[in-house]
Amino acid sequence: MCELLALSANTPTDMRFSFRGLTRRGGATGEHADGWGLASFDPQSGGLRVIREESAAAFSPLAAQMAEHDLKALYSLAHIRKATQGVVTLANCHPFQRQWHGQDWVFAHNGDIKGTIPSGDPYSPIGNTDSEAAFCWILNTLNDGASPQLGRNILFDLLNRCSAHLAGQGIFNCLISNGQWLYAFGGTKLHVITRRAPFAQATLADDNVTVDFSAVTTENDVVTIVSTEPLTTNETWRPLESGESLLVVDGEIVASHTSAGAQDRGENPRSE
């Protein structure tokens, strides 16, 4: 299957360190060599930039360039693909992008959904993956009964219902963002870490690289990273429970939900 990565921060932050670790798993330290993608929202204009390639991230000059590029954002998503459904082609690389009521939404998925995912209008897949079909189904479902004017907690509930439905058809882990929030659902496997002062050093698990975050941050910075597997060896990442979801706004986890039905509005991310 695939691996996911997302960042949410309260100040424009680049994802170079984490993205570098992820790309190593795209054909070098991992088998996810069927394409990669990176999406980031411009912190000034809110515009969305998406870069995708159907080659192995670990050996891609473009991916290496992006791992060195100071692409600062409040919200970024990345993905490395191991094809389970759909051929190896650019159209099947994540993250996928659509507009919903004038908002740019991006989606990345790790999993394998069995059976038929209903198609509809106005959103339909361009490629032939279960992932893109699931994204279109989510947007069509929201389009039938939701609007951008809904509060984010109501939208969080709707996304949880969609995720639970798709998780009932197989393996479903996903990331969604519109540049104002990050939604993460861990059907089977996701990890999260929130970094805040006092910052410390972190060492990549897949490369001999260490960063001293105290040298590149301020005491007010808050950054939450969500990843399929922990990306560092000397930090404590929390595994999400099966069926757990998070809503992250400007680096803070503002809501969480578990498959047992318990919800915590305004979760204290210091526990991360």
CB under 8 Å to 54, separation ≥6 — which residues? 34, 35, 88, 89, 90, 92, 93
According to DSSP, the residues that pair with 225 across neighbouring strands are 7, 193
96 neighbors 135 (Cβ within 8 angstroms) = yes
3-state secondary structure of 127: coil
E strand or H helix that includes residue 240? none
Residues annotated catalytic, as ranges? 2
2 neighbors 82 (Cβ within 8 angstroms) = yes
Residue 271 has a CB neighbour count (10 Å cut-off) of 8
Q: Tell me the DSSP string of 193-233.
A: EEEESSP-EEEBSSSS-EEEGGGT--TT-EEEEEESS--BS
- Quote the CA–CA distance of 182 and 169 in Å, as a whole number: 23
